[in-house]
Structure 1
Amino acid sequence: MQQTYNGMPASDLDGVRWRKSIHSNSTGNCVELAELPDGDIAVRNSRFPEGPALIYTRDEIRALVMGVKDGEFDNLLA
């Protein structure tokens, strides 16, 4: 299994399938996520796909998604 680490080049994550939200806009302002073989989740900037990838555990992503669904970050959009 490939060794992953925070900040590694996203282009070094071989064989992953990057996905982005259908809510992304046409100018490419979005992030993309990919499931890694060990179950962690990688996140990258879609405008710089070969740039750094941030690696999170499933529990960390779950906490983020639940916070977003609950509106905990709505003030960041103002």
Structure 2
Amino acid sequence: MITDLGGTTWFKSSYSGGQTDCVEVAWLRGGRVGVRDSKNPAGPALVFAPDQWDVFASALRSGDFDR
């Protein structure tokens, strides 16, 4: 699926402390969520369906991706 993300409002977590090496998130139409690398705003973005985002965010909170 290709989604036009032009005009999308992206934001970083307040935990980023203004750093440039961050992930940015955008709330999209239809409940979808966009995720991109703040260092490459013109680059590719992931787009999650609402249920996929819920699973991903839950995994982040529970530490599933901690190294």
**TM-score interval (norm. to shorter):** 0.7 to 0.9
Give the whole-Å Cα distance in 2 for the aligned partners of 1:27 and 1:69.
Answer: 21
Runs of 4+ in 1 over 2 A off after TM superposition: none
TM-score (ref. length: structure 2): 0.79
Q: How far does residue 25 in structure 1 lie from its aligned partner after superposition?
A: 4.9
Q: How far does residue 26 in structure 1 lie from its aligned partner after superposition?
A: 4.6
Report the counterpart of residue 53 of structure 2 in structure 1. 61
Q: How far does residue 42 in structure 1 lie from its aligned partner after superposition?
A: 1.0
Counterpart amino acid of residue 26 in structure 2: A
Greater Rg over alpha carbons, structure: 1
Taking the TM superposition and a 5 Å limit, the aligned residue runs for 1:1-78 are: 5=2, 12-74=4-66, 76=67
Counterpart amino acid of residue 37 in structure 1: R
SS at structure 2 position matched to 1:16: coil
TM-score (ref. length: structure 1): 0.70
Q: Which has the higher contact order (CA 8 A, sep 6+)?
A: 1
Q: Where does structure 2 lack aligned partners over 5 or more consecutive residues?
A: none
SS at structure 2 position matched to 1:23: helix
